Protein backbone atom coordinates (compact mmCIF):
# COMPACT_ATOMS: atom_id res chain seq x y z
CA UNK A 1 0.00 0.00 0.00
CA UNK A 2 1.20 3.47 -0.87
CA UNK A 3 1.16 5.94 2.02
CA UNK A 4 2.53 9.37 1.14
CA UNK A 5 3.88 11.62 3.91
CA UNK A 6 1.32 14.21 2.86
CA UNK A 7 -1.51 13.98 0.30
CA UNK A 8 -2.55 17.46 -0.79
CA UNK A 9 -4.59 16.07 -3.67
CA UNK A 10 -6.98 14.40 -1.22
CA UNK A 11 -7.59 17.75 0.45
CA UNK A 12 -8.04 19.55 -2.88
CA UNK A 13 -10.57 17.03 -4.18
CA UNK A 14 -12.83 17.86 -1.24
CA UNK A 15 -12.51 21.64 -1.71
CA UNK A 16 -12.17 22.08 -5.45
CA UNK A 17 -15.49 23.88 -6.17
CA UNK A 18 -15.04 26.26 -3.22
CA UNK A 19 -11.45 27.09 -4.13
CA UNK A 20 -12.15 27.54 -7.81
CA UNK A 21 -14.99 29.95 -7.05
CA UNK A 22 -12.76 32.01 -4.75
CA UNK A 23 -9.96 32.14 -7.31
CA UNK A 24 -12.42 33.06 -10.09
CA UNK A 25 -13.55 36.09 -8.06
CA UNK A 26 -10.00 37.40 -7.88
CA UNK A 27 -9.53 36.93 -11.62
CA UNK A 28 -12.85 38.65 -12.34
CA UNK A 29 -11.80 41.64 -10.25
CA UNK A 30 -8.20 41.63 -11.64
CA UNK A 31 -7.09 43.01 -8.26
CA UNK A 32 -4.07 40.94 -7.31
CA UNK A 33 -2.10 43.02 -4.82
CA UNK A 34 -3.43 43.42 -1.24
CA UNK A 35 -7.00 44.79 -1.32
CA UNK A 36 -10.24 43.44 0.17
CA UNK A 37 -9.41 39.71 -0.11
CA UNK A 38 -6.23 40.17 1.90
CA UNK A 39 -7.99 42.38 4.44
CA UNK A 40 -10.83 39.91 4.90
CA UNK A 41 -8.36 37.08 5.43
CA UNK A 42 -6.33 39.14 7.90
CA UNK A 43 -9.46 39.85 9.93
CA UNK A 44 -10.46 36.18 9.88
CA UNK A 45 -6.98 35.14 11.05
CA UNK A 46 -6.89 37.74 13.81
CA UNK A 47 -10.25 36.46 15.07
CA UNK A 48 -9.12 32.84 14.74
CA UNK A 49 -5.96 33.43 16.77
CA UNK A 50 -7.59 35.77 19.26
CA UNK A 51 -5.08 38.49 18.39
CA UNK A 52 -6.17 42.11 17.82
CA UNK A 53 -4.11 42.62 14.62
CA UNK A 54 -2.97 40.44 11.72
CA UNK A 55 -0.84 41.40 8.72
CA UNK A 56 -0.67 39.10 5.71
CA UNK A 57 2.84 38.76 4.30
CA UNK A 58 4.82 36.94 1.64
CA UNK A 59 6.04 33.92 3.66
CA UNK A 60 6.70 32.59 7.14
CA UNK A 61 10.34 33.53 6.70
CA UNK A 62 9.39 37.13 5.90
CA UNK A 63 7.01 37.17 8.87
CA UNK A 64 9.94 36.35 11.19
CA UNK A 65 12.21 38.83 9.42
CA UNK A 66 9.63 41.64 9.62
CA UNK A 67 8.94 41.08 13.32
CA UNK A 68 12.67 41.49 13.97
CA UNK A 69 12.80 44.53 11.67
CA UNK A 70 9.83 46.08 13.47
CA UNK A 71 11.90 45.89 16.68
CA UNK A 72 14.94 47.44 14.94
CA UNK A 73 16.99 44.36 15.74
CA UNK A 74 20.37 44.39 14.03
CA UNK A 75 24.14 44.37 14.56
CA UNK A 76 25.15 44.12 18.22
CA UNK A 77 21.84 42.54 19.24
CA UNK A 78 21.23 38.97 20.35
CA UNK A 79 18.12 36.87 19.90
CA UNK A 80 17.60 33.64 21.83
CA UNK A 81 16.14 30.69 19.94
CA UNK A 82 16.29 26.92 19.43
CA UNK A 83 18.95 25.21 17.29
CA UNK A 84 16.46 22.45 16.46
CA UNK A 85 14.09 24.09 13.97
CA UNK A 86 13.78 24.97 10.31
CA UNK A 87 16.64 27.18 9.15
CA UNK A 88 14.50 30.31 8.69
CA UNK A 89 14.16 30.89 12.43
CA UNK A 90 17.84 31.62 12.97
CA UNK A 91 18.50 32.65 9.38
CA UNK A 92 16.35 35.77 9.80
CA UNK A 93 18.21 36.80 12.94
CA UNK A 94 21.57 36.45 11.19
CA UNK A 95 20.42 38.19 7.98
CA UNK A 96 19.76 41.34 10.00
CA UNK A 97 23.28 41.24 11.45
CA UNK A 98 22.11 40.12 14.90
CA UNK A 99 23.45 37.05 16.66
CA UNK A 100 21.35 33.91 17.09
CA UNK A 101 21.97 32.62 20.62
CA UNK A 102 20.93 28.99 20.88
CA UNK A 103 19.37 27.25 23.86
CA UNK A 104 18.97 23.46 23.74
CA UNK A 105 15.58 21.76 23.55
CA UNK A 106 13.66 19.87 26.16
CA UNK A 107 13.67 16.27 24.82
CA UNK A 108 10.00 15.39 25.37
CA UNK A 109 8.52 18.44 23.62
CA UNK A 110 11.41 19.16 21.19
CA UNK A 111 10.93 22.84 22.12
CA UNK A 112 13.33 25.34 23.68
CA UNK A 113 14.03 24.42 27.31
CA UNK A 114 12.84 27.39 29.39
CA UNK A 115 15.13 26.34 32.28
CA UNK A 116 18.18 27.09 30.19
CA UNK A 117 17.17 30.49 28.80
CA UNK A 118 18.07 32.75 31.74
CA UNK A 119 21.75 31.75 31.60
CA UNK A 120 21.94 33.01 27.99
CA UNK A 121 20.44 36.46 28.59
CA UNK A 122 22.97 39.31 28.32
CA UNK A 123 22.84 43.11 28.02
CA UNK A 124 22.63 42.63 24.25
CA UNK A 125 19.62 40.26 24.29
CA UNK A 126 16.63 41.88 22.58
CA UNK A 127 14.20 39.04 21.96
CA UNK A 128 13.31 35.43 22.56
CA UNK A 129 12.05 33.52 19.55
CA UNK A 130 10.44 30.26 20.72
CA UNK A 131 9.42 27.79 18.02
CA UNK A 132 6.26 25.72 18.46
CA UNK A 133 7.87 22.78 16.74
CA UNK A 134 5.73 20.18 14.97
CA UNK A 135 2.58 21.95 16.23
CA UNK A 136 3.23 21.73 19.95
CA UNK A 137 3.47 25.02 21.80
CA UNK A 138 6.59 26.02 23.69
CA UNK A 139 6.31 26.79 27.43
CA UNK A 140 4.95 30.29 26.91
CA UNK A 141 4.26 31.14 30.57
CA UNK A 142 7.89 30.61 31.56
CA UNK A 143 9.17 32.36 28.43
CA UNK A 144 6.87 35.37 28.87
CA UNK A 145 7.85 35.67 32.54
CA UNK A 146 11.55 35.78 31.62
CA UNK A 147 10.83 38.30 28.86
CA UNK A 148 8.94 40.59 31.22
CA UNK A 149 11.69 40.41 33.83
CA UNK A 150 14.42 41.28 31.30
CA UNK A 151 12.37 43.60 29.02
CA UNK A 152 12.62 41.33 26.00
CA UNK A 153 10.30 40.97 23.05
CA UNK A 154 8.75 37.54 22.43
CA UNK A 155 8.38 36.52 18.79
CA UNK A 156 6.53 33.22 18.38
CA UNK A 157 7.66 31.14 15.43
CA UNK A 158 4.21 29.63 14.98
CA UNK A 159 4.86 28.51 11.41
CA UNK A 160 4.04 24.87 12.26
CA UNK A 161 1.43 25.57 14.90
CA UNK A 162 -1.58 27.55 13.67
CA UNK A 163 -4.55 26.78 15.91
CA UNK A 164 -2.52 25.34 18.78
CA UNK A 165 -3.41 26.45 22.28
CA UNK A 166 -1.54 27.03 25.51
CA UNK A 167 -3.74 27.24 28.61
CA UNK A 168 -6.71 28.26 26.48
CA UNK A 169 -4.89 30.92 24.40
CA UNK A 170 -4.05 30.32 20.80
CA UNK A 171 -0.63 30.75 19.31
CA UNK A 172 -0.30 34.23 17.86
CA UNK A 173 -1.88 35.65 21.01
CA UNK A 174 0.76 34.41 23.46
CA UNK A 175 3.76 36.59 22.57
CA UNK A 176 4.36 40.11 21.23
CA UNK A 177 4.32 38.79 17.68
CA UNK A 178 3.06 35.54 16.16
CA UNK A 179 4.63 34.50 12.85
CA UNK A 180 2.80 32.06 10.59
CA UNK A 181 3.62 30.28 7.33
CA UNK A 182 1.18 29.13 4.68
CA UNK A 183 3.74 26.99 2.86
CA UNK A 184 1.71 24.14 1.33
CA UNK A 185 2.89 21.52 3.88
CA UNK A 186 1.72 23.52 6.92
CA UNK A 187 -1.63 22.82 8.58
CA UNK A 188 -3.07 25.82 6.72
CA UNK A 189 -1.30 25.71 3.36
CA UNK A 190 -1.75 28.06 0.42
CA UNK A 191 -1.33 27.57 -3.31
CA UNK A 192 2.24 28.82 -3.06
CA UNK A 193 4.11 30.93 -0.53
CA UNK A 194 2.40 33.08 2.08
CA UNK A 195 2.63 34.12 5.71
CA UNK A 196 1.08 36.29 8.41
CA UNK A 197 2.06 38.18 11.56
CA UNK A 198 -0.23 38.73 14.51
CA UNK A 199 0.31 41.29 17.25
CA UNK A 200 -1.64 42.74 20.11
CA UNK A 201 -0.18 46.21 19.72
CA UNK A 202 -1.63 48.82 17.33
CA UNK A 203 1.66 50.70 16.87
CA UNK A 204 3.48 47.46 16.01
CA UNK A 205 0.73 46.54 13.55
CA UNK A 206 1.02 49.95 11.85
CA UNK A 207 4.79 49.55 11.54
CA UNK A 208 4.38 46.06 10.05
CA UNK A 209 1.87 47.39 7.51
CA UNK A 210 4.38 50.04 6.43
CA UNK A 211 7.36 47.63 6.36
CA UNK A 212 5.36 45.23 4.18
CA UNK A 213 5.19 47.84 1.45
CA UNK A 214 8.65 49.47 1.37
CA UNK A 215 7.96 51.55 4.48
CA UNK A 216 5.76 53.70 2.28
CA UNK A 217 3.25 56.00 3.99
CA UNK A 218 1.79 57.97 2.21
CA UNK A 219 2.44 56.79 -1.34
CA UNK A 220 6.04 57.40 -2.47
CA UNK A 221 7.13 58.79 0.89
CA UNK A 222 9.32 56.42 2.90
CA UNK A 223 9.88 56.84 6.64
CA UNK A 224 11.23 53.31 7.02
CA UNK A 225 13.26 50.95 4.88
CA UNK A 226 10.87 48.09 4.30
CA UNK A 227 10.47 45.70 1.41
CA UNK A 228 7.97 43.95 -0.79
CA UNK A 229 6.58 41.52 1.79
CA UNK A 230 3.01 41.48 0.46
CA UNK A 231 0.55 38.58 0.49
CA UNK A 232 -1.13 37.94 -2.88
CA UNK A 233 -4.91 38.37 -3.14
CA UNK A 234 -5.05 34.95 -4.82
CA UNK A 235 -3.36 33.34 -1.83
CA UNK A 236 -5.67 35.16 0.58
CA UNK A 237 -8.73 33.94 -1.35
CA UNK A 238 -7.56 30.30 -1.24
CA UNK A 239 -6.49 30.52 2.39
CA UNK A 240 -9.80 32.07 3.44
CA UNK A 241 -11.62 29.00 2.09
CA UNK A 242 -9.21 26.63 3.82
CA UNK A 243 -9.33 28.47 7.16
CA UNK A 244 -12.97 27.40 7.44
CA UNK A 245 -11.82 23.76 7.46
CA UNK A 246 -8.78 24.11 9.70
CA UNK A 247 -10.37 23.03 12.97
CA UNK A 248 -11.80 19.89 11.38
CA UNK A 249 -8.38 19.06 9.90
CA UNK A 250 -6.71 19.64 13.26
CA UNK A 251 -9.20 17.32 14.95
CA UNK A 252 -8.47 14.68 12.28
CA UNK A 253 -4.70 15.04 12.83
CA UNK A 254 -5.23 14.57 16.55
CA UNK A 255 -7.40 11.49 15.99
CA UNK A 256 -4.65 10.08 13.76
CA UNK A 257 -2.16 10.59 16.59
CA UNK A 258 -4.46 8.76 19.01
CA UNK A 259 -4.85 5.93 16.50
CA UNK A 260 -1.08 5.62 16.07
CA UNK A 261 -0.69 5.42 19.86
CA UNK A 262 -3.18 2.54 19.96
CA UNK A 263 -1.60 0.72 16.97
CA UNK A 264 1.98 1.09 18.24
CA UNK A 265 0.83 -0.13 21.66
CA UNK A 266 -1.00 -3.14 20.23
CA UNK A 267 2.09 -4.04 18.17
CA UNK A 268 4.14 -4.04 21.37
CA UNK A 269 6.42 -1.30 20.01
CA UNK A 270 5.49 1.63 22.23
CA UNK A 271 6.72 2.62 24.65
CA UNK A 272 9.42 -0.11 24.62
CA UNK A 273 11.11 0.40 21.24
CA UNK A 274 9.46 3.40 19.62
CA UNK A 275 8.99 6.66 21.56
CA UNK A 276 5.80 8.40 20.52
CA UNK A 277 5.09 12.13 20.77
CA UNK A 278 3.03 13.24 23.77
CA UNK A 279 0.88 16.30 24.37
CA UNK A 280 0.90 18.83 27.20
CA UNK A 281 -2.60 17.73 28.25
CA UNK A 282 -1.67 14.06 28.39
CA UNK A 283 1.45 14.92 30.39
CA UNK A 284 -0.64 16.94 32.84
CA UNK A 285 -3.17 14.11 33.15
CA UNK A 286 -5.92 16.23 31.57
CA UNK A 287 -8.55 15.20 29.02
CA UNK A 288 -6.88 15.13 25.62
CA UNK A 289 -9.80 14.72 23.23
CA UNK A 290 -10.14 16.22 19.77
CA UNK A 291 -11.57 19.51 21.07
CA UNK A 292 -8.34 20.23 22.86
CA UNK A 293 -5.66 21.75 20.63
CA UNK A 294 -2.63 21.61 22.90
CA UNK A 295 -0.78 19.96 19.98
CA UNK A 296 -1.92 20.34 16.37
CA UNK A 297 0.42 17.68 14.91
CA UNK A 298 1.80 19.43 11.87
CA UNK A 299 4.22 16.52 12.14
CA UNK A 300 4.04 13.22 14.02
CA UNK A 301 7.56 12.57 15.25
CA UNK A 302 8.75 9.26 16.67
CA UNK A 303 12.13 8.27 18.10
CA UNK A 304 13.24 4.99 16.60
CA UNK A 305 16.30 2.74 16.60
CA UNK A 306 18.38 2.58 13.36
CA UNK A 307 16.51 5.62 12.00
CA UNK A 308 18.19 5.91 8.59
CA UNK A 309 17.88 2.18 7.86
CA UNK A 310 14.21 2.25 8.87
CA UNK A 311 13.58 5.23 6.63
CA UNK A 312 15.12 3.43 3.63
CA UNK A 313 12.99 0.35 4.44
CA UNK A 314 9.80 2.46 4.51
CA UNK A 315 10.70 4.25 1.28
CA UNK A 316 11.26 0.92 -0.48
CA UNK A 317 7.75 -0.12 0.58
CA UNK A 318 6.03 3.06 -0.62
CA UNK A 319 5.68 4.70 2.79
CA UNK A 320 6.60 8.36 3.04
CA UNK A 321 8.61 9.70 5.96
CA UNK A 322 11.00 12.60 6.52
CA UNK A 323 13.75 13.73 8.84
CA UNK A 324 12.96 17.15 10.37
CA UNK A 325 15.82 18.08 10.73
CA UNK A 326 19.02 16.08 10.12
CA UNK A 327 21.54 18.73 11.25
CA UNK A 328 20.86 21.20 14.08
CA UNK A 329 21.47 24.83 13.20
CA UNK A 330 24.55 25.30 15.44
CA UNK A 331 26.38 22.74 13.27
CA UNK A 332 25.37 24.22 9.90
CA UNK A 333 28.21 25.42 7.72
CA UNK A 334 26.84 28.95 7.40
CA UNK A 335 26.86 29.36 11.20
CA UNK A 336 30.42 28.15 11.67
CA UNK A 337 31.36 31.74 12.60
CA UNK A 338 29.32 31.34 15.79
CA UNK A 339 32.01 28.92 16.99
CA UNK A 340 29.85 25.98 18.05
CA UNK A 341 30.85 22.32 17.97
CA UNK A 342 29.25 18.90 18.23
CA UNK A 343 28.17 18.28 21.82
CA UNK A 344 27.15 21.90 22.51
CA UNK A 345 23.41 21.11 22.36
CA UNK A 346 23.17 17.38 23.04
CA UNK A 347 19.37 17.04 23.04
CA UNK A 348 19.08 18.78 19.67
CA UNK A 349 21.79 16.53 18.27
CA UNK A 350 20.12 13.42 19.69
CA UNK A 351 16.77 14.43 18.19
CA UNK A 352 18.36 15.15 14.81
CA UNK A 353 19.96 11.69 14.79
CA UNK A 354 17.07 9.56 16.01
CA UNK A 355 13.67 10.96 15.00
CA UNK A 356 11.41 10.35 12.02
CA UNK A 357 8.22 12.03 10.78
CA UNK A 358 5.38 9.65 9.84
CA UNK A 359 2.26 10.45 7.76
CA UNK A 360 -0.32 12.31 9.91
CA UNK A 361 -2.30 14.32 7.33
CA UNK A 362 -6.06 14.58 8.03
CA UNK A 363 -7.23 12.25 5.24
CA UNK A 364 -4.94 9.34 6.31
CA UNK A 365 -7.11 6.19 6.45
CA UNK A 366 -7.26 3.45 9.08
CA UNK A 367 -5.73 0.98 6.63
CA UNK A 368 -2.87 3.36 5.77
CA UNK A 369 -2.04 4.00 9.43
CA UNK A 370 -2.12 0.26 10.13
CA UNK A 371 0.20 -0.33 7.17
CA UNK A 372 2.72 2.24 8.50
CA UNK A 373 2.82 0.56 11.92
CA UNK A 374 2.97 -2.99 10.50
CA UNK A 375 5.84 -2.06 8.21
CA UNK A 376 7.79 -0.53 11.08
CA UNK A 377 7.10 -3.66 13.16
CA UNK A 378 8.35 -5.82 10.29
CA UNK A 379 11.60 -3.82 10.12
CA UNK A 380 12.16 -3.97 13.86
CA UNK A 381 11.71 -7.77 13.97
CA UNK A 382 14.88 -8.20 11.89
C1 LIG B 1 7.97 26.62 7.44
C2 LIG B 1 8.71 27.26 8.55
C3 LIG B 1 9.27 28.55 8.42
C4 LIG B 1 9.32 29.31 7.14
O5 LIG B 1 8.13 29.47 6.47
P6 LIG B 1 8.12 29.77 4.91
O7 LIG B 1 6.71 30.17 4.65
O8 LIG B 1 8.51 28.52 4.20
O9 LIG B 1 9.06 30.89 4.64
C10 LIG B 1 9.87 29.11 9.54
N11 LIG B 1 9.94 28.45 10.70
C12 LIG B 1 9.45 27.20 10.85
C13 LIG B 1 9.56 26.52 12.17
C14 LIG B 1 8.84 26.57 9.77
O15 LIG B 1 8.38 25.32 9.91
**Ligand 1 centre from 1 Cα, in Å?**
31
Checking if the pLDDT of 52 tops 70, the result is: yes
Contacts of 52 (CB under 8 A, 6+ apart): 46, 199, 200, 201, 202, 205
- CA–CA distance, 63 with 177 (Å, rounded to integer): 9
Instruction: Could you please state the CATH topology (level 3) that the domain comprising 246-380 is classified under.
Output: 3.90.1150
pLDDT at 289: 67
**Ligand 1 centre from 129 Cα, in Å?**
13
For residue 117, CA distances in Å to 85, 150, 262 come to 16, 11, 36
Give the ligand 1 atom nearest the CA of 193: 7
Ordered by start, the domain boundaries in the chain are 8-243, 246-380
What is the spatial order of strands in the sheet that 153-157 belongs to?
A: 53-57, 195-199, 177-181, 153-157, 125-129, 78-81, 99-102
In this prediction, residue 345 has a pLDDT band, given cuts at 50, 70 and 90, of very high
| Segment 258-264 mean pLDDT | 97
Beta bridge partners of 206: none
| Segment 103-108 mean pLDDT | 98
In this prediction, residue 220 has a pLDDT band, given cuts at 50, 70 and 90, of very high
Checking if the pLDDT of 363 tops 90, the result is: yes
CATH architecture of 8-243: 3-Layer(aba) Sandwich (3.40)
In this prediction, residue 285 has a pLDDT band, given cuts at 50, 70 and 90, of confident
pLDDT at 293: 87
pTM score, whole prediction: 0.97
- CA–CA distance, 74 with 68 (Å, rounded to integer): 8
Checking if the pLDDT of 287 tops 80, the result is: no
pLDDT at 291: 67
Find the residues whose C-beta lies inside 6 A of ligand 1: 59-61, 85-86, 88-89, 131, 157, 159-160, 181, 183, 193, 195
**Ligand 1 centre from 273 Cα, in Å?**
31
- Which of 159, 322, 323 has the most ligand 1 atoms within 8 A of CB, as the residue to mutate? 159
- Select from 25, 24, 152 the least CA-distant residue to 81: 152
Give the ligand 1 atom nearest the CA of 131: 13
To the nearest whole number, what is the mean pLDDT of the chain? 96
**Ligand 1 centre from 85 Cα, in Å?**
9
Helix (H) or strand (E) holding 199: strand 195-199
Amino acid sequence: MNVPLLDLKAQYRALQPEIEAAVAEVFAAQAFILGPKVQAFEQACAAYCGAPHAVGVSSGTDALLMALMAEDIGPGDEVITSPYTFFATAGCIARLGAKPVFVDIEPRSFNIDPQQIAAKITKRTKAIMPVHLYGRMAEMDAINALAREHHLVVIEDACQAIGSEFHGRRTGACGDYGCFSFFPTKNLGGAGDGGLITTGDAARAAKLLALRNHGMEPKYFHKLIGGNFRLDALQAAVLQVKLGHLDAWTAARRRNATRYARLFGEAGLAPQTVTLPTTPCAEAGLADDDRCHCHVFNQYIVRVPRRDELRAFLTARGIGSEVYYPLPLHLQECFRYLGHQAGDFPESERAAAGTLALPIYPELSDAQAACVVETIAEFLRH
